[in-house]
Structure 1
Amino acid sequence: MNSSTQTPRFEPVTDADREVIAQQLGRPPRALRAVAARCPGGHPSVVQTNPRLENGTPFPTLYYLTCPRLTSLVGTLEASGVMKEMTERLDADPELAALYQRTHETYLAERDAIESLGTQVTAGGMPGRVKCLHVHLAHSLAAGPGVNPFGDETLEWVRAQGWPSGDCAG
């Protein structure tokens, strides 16, 4: 698959989506490939990006969280120190570590199917630590439940905080 082909399960980025994403991010979006998930109000919440920026710079984050409400909620969760606890669980739970390794491998395979960056670096600290819950939540929202254990846990947490409700893009 080349970088101009859209991933079938995701939606093409429309001009209206591009405008909303720019408002959400506070800057023009880069390397947009597809809308991978939407907020309850229909606005993009996760985009799939190309493995390289327009200027050729590697951009290994395949899924990018754009919804300001979700990014704020996840920032609050990250500030609680939960990522350190999640990383410690990887050392203590071989089953979880194996699942997280598979998460890393499938993420890498999906990105490499678009364009290989020639690196084993994926995103969010995979596979040895948990570094960025924004990436993990974006991955879970794009891929669905059961693919990313820490993304799924983050999704459970944001739902407990009242998401989804209301217009997230405002």
Structure 2
Amino acid sequence: MVIRPEQAPDARQLAIITQQLGRAPRGIQTVAAATQDGTPLVLRMHAIVDDKPFPTLFWLCSERLKIAISRIEAQGVIKALEARLQEDPEFLADYRRSHEDYVAQRWRSMSAAERDIVEHRGYRDLFTQRGIGGIANWEQVRCLHTQYAHHLCGDNAIGRWMDAEHDVLACLR
């Protein structure tokens, strides 16, 4: 079962995240999704990291989820999903709503100071027009990892499809 603690990582979680990423983490705002025992699955990131824009709001940090999703990607499903987006107007509309949810969450999660930096440095379009994982074309799928991270923390059509077709969370059991 996935929980959404939405809190800054504690010392134990920071150690786990460091191990998951293979480096010291930076730019973490909260642990956005975790297992029942508190193991981080998804991190919510700050909009400005190391004084630069960071448009990826949700970062998948779970090694087990990353491996499971990489295996799905290796099957060529991104091309199939993009074809479905072109052929299925309802799926495309649902996917566009996923991007809209992501953009809205990203904007709401910014502090006033981050919004000020975004506005004054000319990054507004980056944060209001680019969708999941910073993608500009909302009819393409860049990465299933970013889609699934958003799915665990928001409303994501691709993530729902991944659960239905591939039972992604089974890798955590």
The TM-score with structure 1 as length reference comes to 0.82
Amino acid at match of 1:15: A
Of 140, 147, 156, 1:136 maps to 147
Q: Structure 2 CA distance, aligned partners of 1:91 and 1:159?
A: 24
- RMSD between aligned residues: 2.0
Per-residue Cα deviation, 1:104-131 (whole angstroms, up to 9, x for no partner): 1121111122145412112344611111
**Secondary structure of 1:162's partner?**
helix
The TM-score with structure 2 as length reference comes to 0.80
Q: Which runs of 5+ in 1 are unaligned?
A: 1-7, 166-170
Q: Structure 2 CA distance, aligned partners of 1:89 and 1:148?
A: 15
Q: Structure 1 CA distance, aligned partners of 2:169 and 2:149?
A: 17
Q: How does 1:99-114 map to 2 (within 5 A)?
A: 99-113=94-108, 114=110
Answer yes or no: is the 8 Å Cα contact 1:11–1:34 preserved in 2: yes
Q: Structure 2 CA distance, aligned partners of 1:164 and 1:158?
A: 13
Answer yes or no: is the 8 Å Cα contact 2:65–2:169 preserved in 1: no
Q: Name which structure has the greater RCO, CA cutoff 8 Å, separation 6+.
A: 1
Per-residue Cα deviation, 1:53-94 (whole angstroms, up to 9, x for no partner): 1x2111111001111010001011111110110011111111
Partner residue in 2 for 1:123:
132
- Identity among equivalent positions (%) equals 33
**Secondary structure of 1:142's partner?**
coil
- Which has the larger share of helix? 2
Q: 1:99 to 1:52 in 2, by over 3 A?
A: same
Q: Which runs of 5+ in 2 are unaligned?
A: none
